[in-house]
Amino acid sequence: MSWGYKIIIAYAIFIGGMLSMVYVASQQTNEMQDENYYAQELKYQEVIDGKNNLNVFPNKVSISQSEGNLMLKVPTETIANIENGTIYFLRPSDQTKDLHLTLKVNEKGEQLIALNALTNGLYTVKISWKSNGKVYFYEQNYSVEK
């Protein structure tokens, strides 16, 4: 085989590889973790203040898993007069598996969340609430395993 045919074969392999890469790239989904990222970026100072307000307390937010439930516990000092409490379970790999809940803790600062509402995998848990005029914010990566 002459060198001319070898060059043509090399070009054909290169073009085939490029076309296959373009096809694979076009099949990927480009989901954003949050649709309103710009508006949330403008409110980020409130998130920083919420984290600082929460760091004052010796007891931190904790998330544990047992008996088919997820136990969320917030410091009891922060639960008086809760307003606008939200819990977001954001799934980085699949936006359709996100879960948005209202924060409704008992007098011990605990809230149970049924594990059947979540699928196995990694979530970014974002909890925010307002109590007695102060904003509180907590964020953690959490892996759900049933």
Per-residue pLDDT reduced to its tens digit, 1-56: 789 999 999 999 999 999 999 999 988 876 666 667 777 676 788 888 899 999 98
Q: Which residues of 83-122 are buried (b: 16+ CB within 10 A; e: fewer)?
A: eebebbbbbeeeeeebeeeebebeeebebebebeebeeee
pTM of the model: 0.72
Q: What is the tens place of the pLDDT at every residue in 95-113?
A: 888 999 999 999 999 999 9
